[in-house]
Amino acid sequence: MSRAAEDGQSPTLTKGQRRLSVILSQIPSAREQLLVALEDLSADFSVQSLIDAATSPDARERNKVAVIEREYEVLLNWCNELAARAFAEGQRLKALDETAGHPWARLAALGVISQRTAEHLREAMELRNELGRAYPPAAWHALHDGVLMLLDELDRYVDRYATWASHEGILPAI
């Protein structure tokens, strides 16, 4: 136990721990912004509503798609960064052994997340990468599928990740 913790004070966080804490604190707002953007697009977030907005002559309609795409990318990048930084910080703190592999696969191997979640997040990342180079309408379908997949996994991922990171001493106890 650190001296600060023994004195009843909050322990001093490392740079990595601060970054992880900031990301975790920002996820709910980004998730909410994504959900509001989906509602603004259509009540059912259908592929057709996404295509209609993306191809609209009205910039405000196209911006609805841009917000969805951006928040999807932010949330997915943060999920990836959380995993990668946790392993780096855990190894630095000597809480985790150094192992090879993609961070999501490593989390699944440790039982932090399911293999299904690791696979879904990997697929969502591939879909995100496709968005940068795919041409319509493939990009719209990829965005639609990726958003639904991410929203299905996000809360479970964050909860299990935060519990594990706290248990391993990578983050302060929650």
Residue 40 resides in a domain: yes
pTM: 0.87
Residue 8 resides in a domain: no
pLDDT for residue 7: 46
Domain that holds residue 139: 15-167
Residue 85 resides in a domain: yes
Residue 7 resides in a domain: no
Residue 50 near residue 144 (C-beta atoms within 8 A): yes
Residue 160 near residue 10 (C-beta atoms within 8 A): no
Average pLDDT over residues 69-96: 94
Residue 125 near residue 150 (C-beta atoms within 8 A): no
Q: Which residues touch 157 (CB under 8 Å, ≥6 apart)?
A: 79, 113, 117, 121
Residue 9 resides in a domain: no
CATH number at residue 23: 1.20.120
How many structural domains is the chain composed of?
1
Residue 89 near residue 17 (C-beta atoms within 8 A): yes
Residue pLDDT, tens place only, 61-81: 999 999 999 999 999 999 999
